[in-house]
Amino acid sequence: MTLSSTAVDRIRSLVRRRPPAAWRRLLALGLVLAALVTAFWPDVGHPAVVASRDLPAGASLTAADVRVVPLAEPLPGSFTGADAVVGRALSSPARAGVPLTDFDLADAAGDQASVAVRVADQGLAGVVRTGGRVDVVSASGEVLAENAAVRETRGQVVVITLPRLHATRVAAMSLDHALAVTLR
């Protein structure tokens, strides 16, 4: 080792030296301990219930249909436990792995009913999508129901969910006439 007068030369000579074996072993032990701690560190994410597979609208959720996963950020309206959603019905289809929120579930109250409506305009029936919202209009132009949730579509028939009071009226009108729906 030579004596040098500049700081750069001193740093360079220190870097070229090998640290003693004891320091290398201590450093290796510290790295192994850090790896073990991070391997068993609990996940600190925010729990949320997600669909475990693709589910159709109206499906009654079971424990096999949902699972709880951690999210990086809390999601407003999400559920933290599967027991909060089991037994409830979906108001719209759900994709696998997508968190379920309060908007995805049908009202828990029994004041909702589903009605099959034959749509007068076959072209419009092809545009109506499951999970969408529609207004139901009679042939005379009277609005029978507003903001009804579309549960299913089959050809010219659209199944909608709406308050029971309006559902009976829409069902009675659809027996005699095809009804119109307006998209929201």
Domain ranges for the chain = 46-99, 112-183
The pLDDT score that the predictor gives to residue 66 is 93
With contact defined as beta carbons under 8 Å apart, do 114 and 167 qualify?
Answer: yes
The pLDDT score that the predictor gives to residue 53 is 92
How far is Cα 113 from Cα 178, in angstroms, rounded to an integer? 19
How far is Cα 159 from Cα 130, in angstroms, rounded to an integer? 9
Long-range contacts from 9-14, C-beta under 8 angstroms, 24+ separation: none
With contact defined as beta carbons under 8 Å apart, do 21 and 40 qualify?
Answer: no
Topology (CATH level 3) of domain 46-99: Type Iii Antifreeze Protein Isoform Hplc 12 (3.90.1210)
The pLDDT score that the predictor gives to residue 2 is 56
Q: What is the pLDDT along the chain (184 residues), one digit of tens a residue?
A: 556 578 888 777 777 777 788 888 999 999 999 998 888 877 668 899 999 999 887 778 889 999 999 888 888 888 888 888 888 888 778 899 999 988 788 765 567 778 888 887 777 767 888 778 888 888 888 888 888 888 778 888 888 888 888 888 888 888 887 787 878 7
Joined tokens for residue 125: 């029936």
Residue corresponding to tokens 């074996």: 21
Quote the pTM value.
0.46
83 DSSP assignment:
G
Joined tokens for residue 132: 């969408």
Q: Residue 112 pairs with which residues in a beta bridge?
A: 163
